[in-house]
Homo-oligomer: A and B are copies of this chain.
Amino acid sequence: MSQKVVTLGEVMLRLSTPGFERFVQADSFDVTYGGGEANVAVALCNYGLQGTFVTKVPSNALGQAAINHLRRYGVDTQHIARGGKRLGIYFLETGASMRASQVIYDRADAAVAEAEAGEFDFDRILDGASWFHTTGITPALSDKAAELTEAALKAARAKGVTTSIDLNFRKKLWTKEKAREVMTRLCEYVDVCIGNEEDAEMSLGFKSKDTDVTKGQLNLDGYKDVFRQMKERFGFKYIASTLRESHSASDNGWSALAFDGNDFHHTRQYEVRIVDRVGSGDSFASGFIYGLVTGMKMQDAAEFGVAASALKHTIPGDLNHATLTEVSALMKGDASGRVQR
């Protein structure tokens, strides 16, 4: 029986312009559905685990379509609540070269932001689960959503389920002050923390030295310093972050750094030609979780996560459709891209 991982968060309607069209040019939008924690559930199903996704969607055809999209890729959607006002939407315009991708969020009043903790029976949902995962986006949606997140984390902790959070600070959803207040409270229940320097600073107040995310260069020492502070403060079992060197919207360097409390593990760095980079952080998180939950060593789990997310960059949509076989092969070194006949 494969292991069960539960994730909690929002699934949104994603509307993206075709090709490299800008919003003002578009006469059609490509339609998919995704969101940080939903993306993680899908990827884990791809690797053979049982991914259970918890959210609330409206009782209309769009809510149904969102559920369908996750079911299509094997996610257990039986615990998703129905009702509320609307499905959150995000609009995406894919950049190229020096033109950045643009995201317009239209997620206010989404059903999940108004959901009550009491709508979910977390004791039953977490029954038999090995892992619970969420992100810093969910508590940022609303006070109710923060309560819902806390309820879920508490329930997981109570049942001895390992918990992880991807900090994912979103400045359009809340201020750093509000974020720090809520995230500091939530992190009490977290075993594994994922997040880059900016997240760590905005969400938790840990400051590293001289990293300018717009510069596209790594600052490994800064990261290590921050990770040590985070370990000390919250006692996280593991801490990890992806490391992006943003050469342009088309080409990125991509690696990860993981910390087990003693040692730092910096993975191989990939130079990726980008097809769609949305969801790449989630694909790292899911790969890293997969590695840890299946008993890989820290270095291997991080390598698995970064290989998974390198592949994600080449796949349109939020979801990582790379298979276990493909991630394993890349992790072992074959990046030649030769045709598989």
* Chain A residues in the interface with B (C-beta under 8 A): 15, 18-32, 60-62, 64-65, 68-69, 71-74, 85-86, 89, 91, 93, 95-106, 108-109, 170-172, 213-216, 246-251, 270, 272-275, 277-278, 310-311, 313-317, 321-322, 326, 330, 334-341
Residue of B nearest to A315 (CB): B22
Q: List 12 A-B contacts (CB under 8 A).
A: A19-B316, A23-B61, A25-B317, A25-B321, A26-B65, A27-B32, A62-B104, A97-B313, A98-B272, A99-B337, A101-B337, A246-B337
Given contacts A20-B315, A71-B73, A98-B272, 14 further A-B contacts (CB under 8 A): A15-B29, A22-B61, A24-B68, A27-B27, A28-B29, A28-B30, A29-B29, A61-B102, A96-B273, A98-B330, A170-B341, A248-B336, A249-B314, A249-B337
Given contacts A96-B314, A99-B314, contact A62 B91 (CB under 8 A): yes
Alpha-carbon distance between A248 and B96 when the two chains are bound, in angstroms: 17
Does more than half of chain A's interface fall in helix, strand or loop, or is it mixed? loop
Measured CB to CB, the closest approach of chain B to A169, in angstroms, equals 10
A251 to B251, CA, bound (A): 13
A214 touching B68 by the CB < 8 A rule?
no
Contact, CB under 8 Å: B24 / A321: yes
Give the nearest-CB partner of A272 in chain B.
Answer: B97
Which of A249, A330, A338 has the largest count of B CB atoms less than 10 A from its CB? A338
* A336 to B244 alpha-carbon distance, docked (Å): 11
Residue from the list B62, B250, B340 in contact with A273, Cβ < 8 A: B250
Query: Which residues of B sit under 8 angstroms from A71, Cβ to Cβ?
Result: 71-74
Residues from chain B with a CB closer than 8 A to the CB of A314 are 20, 95-99, 249
List the 10 closest pairs (A to B, CB-CB), nearest first. Answer: A249-B337, A72-B72, A23-B61, A97-B273, A98-B335, A246-B336, A99-B314, A96-B314, A248-B337, A103-B341
Chain B residues closer than 8 Å to A273, beta-carbon distance: 96-97, 248, 250-251
Residues of B within 8 A of A337 (CB): 95-101, 246-250
Neighbouring B residues of A341 by C-beta, 8 Å = 103, 105, 170-172
